[in-house]
């Protein structure tokens, strides 16, 4: 049987320490033990790792949906409402009630309207519920023309006539304040 040299070395060291000034060993021979590895102390607070940039979520905008013009079934027909005059000196004693007949053909809106002091015809183009066009009107002794704009929604129509030009005018002032029509079903 062969003896491990490390075992002999450990035994000799123990014998030398235990038997100081002695030539004999007494007692059982100690069994060698493996030394336990020493643990590195863990710090109380962990060092944070560098932050990793998280990419921000990107939003793709929803595609713009074109807003269609009102359908003929929502515009064509008889409407009633009020007229608000801009130049009360010119439109003196005019009642505010108005009726209109509107007709839509595609993006073209035509109409005629009647109020106590003025009646007229207009032709306008509809685009995204907005209308722009022209108006010819009769106010008794005067004929008028004007540009019109407005908004057409299911259930309501607003037509704005900022000013009217008097046709065949022989006066110093040939333009008067217009009016706004507010119509509903």
The number of distinct structural domains making up the chain is 2
* Residue 140, pLDDT score: 84
| Domain interval for residue 27 | 1-31
| 91: DSSP letter | T
Residue at token pair 């064509």:
76
What are the φ/ψ torsions at residue 72 (nearest 5 degrees)?
-55, -35
Same domain assignment for residues 10 and 76: no
Give 20 or 162, the one with higher predicted confidence.
Answer: 162
Least confident among 40-44, 69-73, 112-116, 170-174 = 40-44
* Residue 138, pLDDT score: 93
Tell me how far apart the alpha carbons of residues 92 and 71 are, in angstroms, rounded to a whole number. Answer: 37
Please report whether residue 101 resides in a domain: yes
Q: How confident is residue 39, by pLDDT bands cut at 50, 70 and 90?
A: low
CA 70 to chain CA centroid, Å, is 23
pTM: 0.62
Max CA pair span of the chain: 151
* Residue 77, pLDDT score: 94
Same domain assignment for residues 16 and 85: no
Please report whether residue 51 resides in a domain: no
* Residue 6, pLDDT score: 55
* Residue 62, pLDDT score: 63
Residue at token pair 């990419």:
55
State the CATH number of the domain containing residue 176.
2.40.128
How confident is the model over 37-64, as a mean pLDDT? 60
Give 103 or 44, the one with higher predicted confidence.
Answer: 103
* Nearest of 116, 110, 162 to residue 139 by alpha carbon: 116
Same domain assignment for residues 5 and 80: no
* Residue 75, pLDDT score: 92
Decide if 136 contacts 121 (C-beta within 8 A).
yes
Same domain assignment for residues 76 and 149: yes
Taking only the tens place, the pLDDT of each residue in 120-165 is 999 999 998 999 999 999 988 899 999 999 999 889 999 999 999 9
Same domain assignment for residues 101 and 173: yes
Same domain assignment for residues 92 and 155: yes
Please report whether residue 151 resides in a domain: yes
Vertex 172, ends 169 and 176: CA angle to 5°? 70
* Residue 151, pLDDT score: 95
Same domain assignment for residues 26 and 76: no
Least confident among 9-13, 77-81, 87-91, 95-99 = 9-13
């Amino acid at each position: 049987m062969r003896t491990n040299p490390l075992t002999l070395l450990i035994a000799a060291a123990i014998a030398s320490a235990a038997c100081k000034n002695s030539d004999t060993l007494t007692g059982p021979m100690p069994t060698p033990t493996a030394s336990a590895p020493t643990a590195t102390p863990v710090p109380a607070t962990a060092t944070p790792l560098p932050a990793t940039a998280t990419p921000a979520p990107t939003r793709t905008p929803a595609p713009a949906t074109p807003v269609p013009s009102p359908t003929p079934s929502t515009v064509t027909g008889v409407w009633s409402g009020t007229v608000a005059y801009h130049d009360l000196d010119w439109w003196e004693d005019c009642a505010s009630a108005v009726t209109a007949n509107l007709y839509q053909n595609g993006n073209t809106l035509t109409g005629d309207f009647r109020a106590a002091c003025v009646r007229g015809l207009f032709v306008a183009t509809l685009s995204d519920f907005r209308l722009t066009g022209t108006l010819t009107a009769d106010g008794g002794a005067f004929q008028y023309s004007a540009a019109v704009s407005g908004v057409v929604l299911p259930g309501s129509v607003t037509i704005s006539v900022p000013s009217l030009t008097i046709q065949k005018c022989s006066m110093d002032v040939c333009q008067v304040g217009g009016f706004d029509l507010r119509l509903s079903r």
